[in-house]
Amino acid sequence: MFVDTYKFTCVERFLKYVKYDTESNPDSTTYPSTERQKVLLKELAEELKTMGLGDAQMDEWGYVTATLPSNVSKNVPIIAFIAHVDTSPQVSGANVKPAVTKNYKGGDIRLENGLVIGAKENPALKDKIGYDIITTDGRTLLGADDKAGIAEIMDAVNYLVSHPGVKHGTIKVCFTPDEEIGKGTEKLDVKKLGARFGYTIDSGGIGEIKTETFNADGVTVKFHGMSAHPGYAKGHMVNSIKAAAAFIDGLPKGTLAPEAVDEREGFVHCLSVNGNEELTTLKLIVRDFERKKLKEYEEILKTLAGCAVNQLPGSSFDFEVHEQYRNLKEVLDKHPEVTEYALEAMRRLGMDPKVGYTRGGTDGSRLSFIGVPTPNLFDGSYNIHSPLEWIAVQDMELAVKTIIELARVWEERS
C-alpha cells in the first residue's frame, strides 16, 4: 500500500517548526494577531513551492494556500487539508526545546525542569511502549497543536508528489493563523480556496475523528464607575472594580464552571479582568454543545451583572455578546460521506476509528458554516495547551498515511 523505502519527513519538519515562536494574542487588534506567525507561514509557502505546488502563496492576512492538481480524469470533489500555525497564549511557545525519548519503556516521563508526565494521568502511554515520544523540557508548550498537523500535511503532500501512481483528485492545502483565539478563518476567502470539503488535522489520539464541537460565544462585560482622588472620595467615588468583584463572586462554582464540568456539559468562564475605578472590563467565554443553552448562560451572566451594580449605587454596566463558532455537527450531518470516507481510510490502515466530540472548536467549526464541511482528524498529540504536551513519532507517521489514504478513498468513491 505504501512504498517501504519512503522516508517520512513529518518528524524532521515538526522538530523544525516547533522552534518558531508563533503564539497568537487575543488582545491584538491586528490580523493576524502577531507578526511572528507570518515568519513560519512564509516558510511553509516556500516549502510547498519547492515540492512543486507552483501556486503556493501567503496572502496579506497570512493564509497559506496551495494546490496539488488531480492526476485522474474523472470528477473528484476537491478536498482541503487544513492546520493552524499559532500556538495557545496560555503557555509560552517561545524557545521551545523538544526532547525525544527513544523506545519508551513505560512509566512516567520526567522532563528536564522536573515536571512529570505521569503514566497514571496519561493512560494513552500504555499503548506507546517501544514508541519514540517527543516532549519539551517542561518550560514551554511543545506546539504539537497544531504544528504536528502542519508537518503531517506537508509530509503527505510530499509523498503524493513523489508517488504519482497514487490516484487522487485535486487537493488543497491551507495553513491558517489565529485559530487558538477563535479567529482562524476570519479573513479566509473560501471561494478562492476552492474546496468542496475539508479536514482539519488538529489534535487527538490515533483513530479519532471529531464531528462535533462546542457552540461558542464571547462575552464582554464593562462595569462603569466614577473616579475621584482617594483622599477626597467620600460621596464621589464609585469603584467599578468592586462591581466587577461582586460579579465574579457570583459566577457559578459547582456548576457551569470549567473546572467542575466535563463530557457534554457546558460552561461559562472568565478569561481576564482589567480595570480601575472608572472602568473595569471582563472577558468571558460561553460554551455548550446545544446552541440554545448559550442564551441561557448569557442571561445568567447579564442577571449577575445587574445584581452587581445594584450593590454599588452609581455604577452601571455594558453587556456585549459576539459569536465565535457553532457546532459543526449541524452541517456534517447533511454530508455523511465526509465522515464515512475518513473512517474507511482509518480502517484500511488497521485502526479502530472513533467518532467523537471535542470540548472546544476548530477552524472546521466556522468553515462548515461558510460552505466547506470540515471535521477534525487526529494528529496524535496529547496534553495540548500544557507544558506536559507529548506526541509519538509513530503516531505522526500514521497520521500522514491517513491523509494519503483518505485522498485515495475520495478518488475511488467518486
Give catalytic residues, as residue numbers.
Answer: 86, 179
Residues 6+ away with beta carbon under 8 Å from 349: 398, 401, 402, 405
CA gap 302, 316 in Å, rounded: 12
Interatomic CA distance for residues 144 and 86, integer angstroms: 10
Is omega for the bond preceding 249 within 30 degrees of 0, making it cis?
Answer: no
CA angle 396, 341, 383 (to 5 degrees): 35
Q: Are 187 and 63 in contact (CB under 8 A)?
A: yes
Contact 203, 384 (CB under 8 A): yes
C-alpha span between 86 and 90 (Å, rounded): 12
CA distances from 132 to 94, 289, 393 (A): 23, 36, 5
